[in-house]
Chains A and B, each alone.
Chain A
Amino acid sequence: KNEVEQSPQNLTAQEGEFITINCSYSVGISALHWLQQHPGGGIVSLFMLSSGKKKHGRLIATINIQEKHSSLHITASHPRDSAVYICAVRSNTGNQFYFGTGTSLTVIP
Chain B
Amino acid sequence: EPEVTQTPSHQVTQMGQEVILRCVPISNHLYFYWYRQILGQKVEFLVSFYNNEISEKSEIFDDQFSVERPDGSNFTLKIRSTKLEDSAMYFCASSETRLDGGRNSPLHFGNGTRLTVT
Binding site for B on A (CB under 8 A): 30-31, 33, 35, 40-45, 47-48, 50, 86, 88, 90, 92, 94-102
Contact = CB atoms under 8 A, between A and B. Distances in A.
Interface stretch (B38-46, B62-70, B76-84): B38-46
A86 B99 contact: no
Contact of A97 (B45, B50, B114): B45
Contacts of A100: 42
A30 B55 CA distance: 16
Contact of B107 (A41, A45, A96): A45
B111 interface: yes
Contact of A30 (B33, B41, B99): B99
Given A43-B43, A97-B45, A99-B43, A92 B107 contact: no
18 contacts: A31-B104, A35-B109, A41-B89, A41-B111, A48-B99, A48-B106, A90-B99, A94-B56, A95-B31, A95-B50, A95-B55, A96-B56, A96-B58, A97-B35, A99-B35, A99-B45, A101-B41, A101-B42
Among B42, B55, B56, which residue has the most Cβ atoms of chain A within 10 A? B42
Which has the most chain A C-beta neighbours within 10 Å: B44, B56, B107, B109? B107
B112 interface: yes
Contacts of A102: 42
B48 interface: yes
B42 A42 contact: no
Contacts of B45: 96-99
A101 B42 CA distance: 5
Nearest to A2: B42
A40 to B, nearest CB: 8
Given A42-B112, A99-B44, A50 B104 contact: yes
